[in-house]
Amino acid sequence: MTAPKRLVSLDALRGLAALAVVAFHYSFRIREMYPVALPAPVSFPYGHYGVHLFFLISGFVILMSLERRHAKGFPRARFFRLYPVFWASLLLTTIVISFAPPVQPISVLQFLGNITMAADYVRIENIDGVYWSLAYELGFYAFMYAVYRLGQQRWVPLLPAFWIAGAAAFQGLAPYIPAPLHYLLMIHNYAHLFACGLVFYFIWRDGMRWRYGALLAAGLAVQALIFGFEGAAALAISMGLFALALRPEAARLPGLALLTWFGAISYALYLTHQEIGYRLILALQAIGAGWFISVAAAFAVMIGVAAALTYGVEKPAQRRFAKARQKQEIDKAN
């Protein structure tokens, strides 16, 4: 199996996860936040589990990145991957929700806190609700970087077991862990998902082992403990999709190219679709558009916005970083 095929299939999973989250927000969550919105003919209340799939993918991809390059350049690579498009998305969302009804006033402190991508760490309200997951991602990145930066890679095979146990015990431990340490210590309700992502990387690298199967089963059990049968079923489906994505024949699945493209714009789509999309839907419905027309139009606009941010901000920032890293390596070689 080659890495490129694997990455293509993981991009497709990102696209699927992003579409699930969008479907959840536009068909279900919007009515909880804004009751004036038209009810959806068919709602998709399970789409928020797409974020769980994102966490699985992060566990896999970040470990793969660190194993290839160790800690060298990791913070800068993550910065250029995440922050430029996040800042552009944050600015756009702030402008839209500050002027388009329902208007949401944004203070300078709130905006500055959100710029860090770690507003939850200092208990500042997120400007867009979807930012909540970024706090968990940052904690995971910091933990993994510290492990590799300190040369403690020998502990990596043990991390999934600790994180799964930490997720299971979090409700009891939470009162004794000052916020935001639970993010950084990887003791929280989503730690087992990153753990399962690590386990899938071990399987991809080493082949299936009984201990890997046992860890995935434990992750499923903890998912059921925290999120109930529905959450366990969603994770089981995500695990099945993940296992399929790691197979060589996944590159030949129909529809993969379209999902891969959605995967390419998934980060920008995730960051921008909720609050801006809600206002587009509500505005169209206020002038008489039905549910399908308003949602389809908002979805089309947000795809365009996400594509513009991806290819106008995210990709150029990554290319600049790659060129700077290449130049640095050439300079060192000379």
Mark 204-229 as b/e (b = at least 16 C-beta within 10 Å).
Answer: beeeeeeebeebbebbbebbbebbee
Say which amino acid occupies 31. Answer: R
What are the residue ranges spanned by the domains of the chain? 3-329
Q: What is the pTM of this model?
A: 0.94
In contact, 295 and 281? CB cutoff 8 Å: yes
The C-alpha atoms of residue 71 and residue 274 are separated, in whole angstroms, by 34
pLDDT band at 69 (very low <50, low <70, confident <90, very high): confident
Measured N-to-C along each axis, helices 50-69 and 191-206 cross at an angle, to the nearest 10 degrees, of 50
Q: Compute the mean pLDDT over every residue in the chain, rounded to the nearest whole number.
A: 93
Higher pLDDT, 141 or 248: 141
DSSP-H helix ranges across the chain: 3-24, 30-33, 50-69, 74-99, 108-115, 132-149, 159-173, 181-185, 191-206, 210-245, 256-264, 266-286, 291-309, 315-333
Which residues have CB under 8 Å from 231's CB, separation 6+? 49, 52, 223, 224
| pLDDT given for residue 250 in this prediction | 80
The C-alpha atoms of residue 116 and residue 124 are separated, in whole angstroms, by 11
The C-alpha atoms of residue 242 and residue 240 are separated, in whole angstroms, by 5
Say which amino acid occupies 313. Answer: V
In contact, 28 and 172? CB cutoff 8 Å: no
Q: How do residues 2-47 score in pLDDT, each as one tens digit?
A: 334 446 899 999 999 999 999 999 999 999 999 999 999 999 999 9
| pLDDT given for residue 331 in this prediction | 60
